[in-house]
């Protein structure tokens, strides 16, 4: 990705998306992107019991980088 983006001026999110979606490896791995246009609040505090009530499912191949946080929900 670094090489594909070198020298590109990202004047818009759409330009960045176009460049990234053209990236592929010699073995055929392709990159897919999605744009989140939601505005997220900064400085939010988590509940005191957040860590106790969240389950983390780690990826089998790259667990140190890929994971999903699954909120606990009562039945």
Tens digit of each residue's pLDDT (9 = 90 or more) over 24-68:
888 988 888 888 888 888 988 888 887 788 888 898 888 888 888
Nearest-angstrom CA–CA distance, 16 and 21: 9
Residue for token pair 């980088």: 65
Which of 19, 45, 46 is closest to 33 using CA atoms?
19
pLDDT at 11: 92
Q: How far is CA 69 from the centre of its chain?
A: 12
4-33: average pLDDT: 87
φ and ψ at residue 71, rounded to 5 degrees? -65, 145
| Residue carrying structure tokens 């999110």 | 13
């Amino acid at each position: 990705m670094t090489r594909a983006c070198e020298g590109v001026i990202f004047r818009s999110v759409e330009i960045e998306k176009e460049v990234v979606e053209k990236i592929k490896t010699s073995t055929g791995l392709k990159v897919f992107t999605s744009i989140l246009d939601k505005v997220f609040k900064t400085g939010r505090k988590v509940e005191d019991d957040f860590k106790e009530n969240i389950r983390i499912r780690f990826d089998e191949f790259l667990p140190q980088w890929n994971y999903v946080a699954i909120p606990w929900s009562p039945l």
